[in-house]
Amino acid sequence: MSNYSAWFLLYIFSFIGLYCLSIRLLSLLKVEAVRQISSNRFLAGDEITISLTVTQHSYVPLGWIAVKEEWVHQGTLKSYIHHKLSISWFRKVLTCSYKIIGLPRGLYRVQQIQITTGDLFGFLRKSKFMDLPMHFTIGPKPMNRCHLFGDNFNRYDSEKTFRQMFMSNTLQTSHVRKYMEGDAMNRIHWKMSSRLNDLMTKEMDSSMENHVVVLLNAAKVEAVDKKDIHPEAVFELCVQVAAGLLQYGRQLPCRMELVCNSSGNQIVRLANRFETGPCSEFLTQVMNYGNADFTPVVREEIQALPYGSTLICVTSKLDASLIDLLAEPRRRNRYIHIVFMMGKPVPSEQELRLKQILKLSGCSLYFIPAPENLVAQAQSGVVDVSA
């Protein structure tokens, strides 16, 4: 009886050995992959849908096959991994679809696809790596101007506030012409249109074009109170505010620049107000790792600005040195607005006093309260949606 058991074990292990050897030599001889993505540019909060088709050639049936790929955020190096296990047998084409949700803004890249198979007993695994580079970017979602100043502002008040910030100079109408398709509705001369019974558009004097600089404070800020929102979340709101300001500035006849103190004083200048690609690309990847103090950057920009220009500072920190700088006489004849993103829903008494001081010196300070429901961003991750 023991001889039969020995021969039985010999046959079993020989079969397993031959099976593993065939998997090693005759599986995944040729592998091809095609990846499709819904777009290469998204806004924060969008869902990214990715479809992956793998074609493999093997001379033996495969009990299982696993497909793995890893997307890496280029700023934080955080990875998002998709792993799909399928029963293959004689199937040569495998298709899987998945979604990545809740991703923060930034640049994401994927380099390789790992395809793995093995025997049914777990003794052997064979992997193939394919280079299939791809990337996509997630830009900041511009903050709506109706939400920018809280629920106490209606649509008309927020529109008026934005115009006061951008159009500090009063533009003169050079002439009136007939309406053309694509003209902004706010340029229509309604009195002239009613008189002539035809739509007429106002042409503004280009020599009076306003110069606007949006200055984003990317210096690292520590939380003062444990109840405050995390500084990184507040900085994300600052980036959304800057994106909203640039988006609104496209609609106005103003020359815009974006300045940030993230690593050195990075300046992004626009050739015209419709070329917002460089600014969007910069805001996609900027991080709050800067060590440069914000006040000297503001001083340099004030000295470089011509008379009659507008400076909009977006920051999450107010200090005495910044207030003293804005109160200096040499910053006169320049329109300065401070957009202060708070890490709490209500400003403190000291911050209200600073607002009065700035008001007396001719500057405007706008408090942007943190949303009450901003506890944490939606959990990010990979969700398989294969049929």
What CATH number is attached to the domain comprising 45?
2.60.40.10
Do 222 and 325 have their domain in common? yes
Instruction: Using the predicted structure, report yes or no on whether residue 267 has a pLDDT greater than 70.
Output: no
Do 197 and 213 have their domain in common? no
Predicted TM-score (pTM) of the model is: 0.76
The total number of structural domains in the chain stands at: 3
Q: What is the pLDDT of residues 228-241, one digit of tens each?
A: 667 778 888 889 88
- pLDDT number for residue 138: 92
pLDDT tier, 69 (very low <50, low <70, confident <90, very high otherwise): very high
Do 160 and 264 have their domain in common? yes
Do 334 and 280 have their domain in common? yes
Do 195 and 213 have their domain in common? no
- Whether residue 152 is contained in a domain is answered as yes
Q: What is the pLDDT of residues 213-233, one digit of tens each?
A: 889 888 877 655 555 667 778
Do 187 and 228 have their domain in common? no
- Whether residue 52 is contained in a domain is answered as yes
- Whether residue 75 is contained in a domain is answered as yes
Question: Taken in order 305, 307, 309, 310, is the CA torsion positive or negative?
Answer: positive
- Whether residue 374 is contained in a domain is answered as no
Do 253 and 335 have their domain in common? yes
Instruction: Using the predicted structure, report yes or no on whether residue 158 has a pLDDT greater than 60.
Output: no
Instruction: Using the predicted structure, report yes or no on whether residue 56 has a pLDDT greater than 50.
Output: yes
- pLDDT number for residue 129: 92
pLDDT tier, 376 (very low <50, low <70, confident <90, very high otherwise): very low
Instruction: Using the predicted structure, report yes or no on whether residue 164 has a pLDDT greater than 70.
Output: no
The pLDDT mean for the chain works out to 79
Q: What is the pLDDT of residues 7-16, one digit of tens each?
A: 888 888 888 8
Do 251 and 347 have their domain in common? yes
- Whether residue 131 is contained in a domain is answered as yes
Do 50 and 36 have their domain in common? yes
Q: What is the pLDDT of residues 98-122, one digit of tens each?
A: 999 888 899 999 988 999 999 888 8
- Whether residue 13 is contained in a domain is answered as no
Do 246 and 295 have their domain in common? yes
Do 124 and 195 have their domain in common? no
- pLDDT number for residue 190: 85
What is the extent of the structural domain holding 129? 31-139
Q: What is the pLDDT of residues 347-369, one digit of tens each?
A: 888 888 888 888 887 788 888 87
Instruction: Using the predicted structure, report yes or no on whether residue 292 has a pLDDT greater than 80.
Output: no
What CATH number is attached to the domain comprising 302?
3.40.50
- Whether residue 295 is contained in a domain is answered as yes
- Whether residue 2 is contained in a domain is answered as no
Which range (75-79, 141-145, 164-168, 275-279) has the least confidence? 164-168
Do 133 and 151 have their domain in common? no
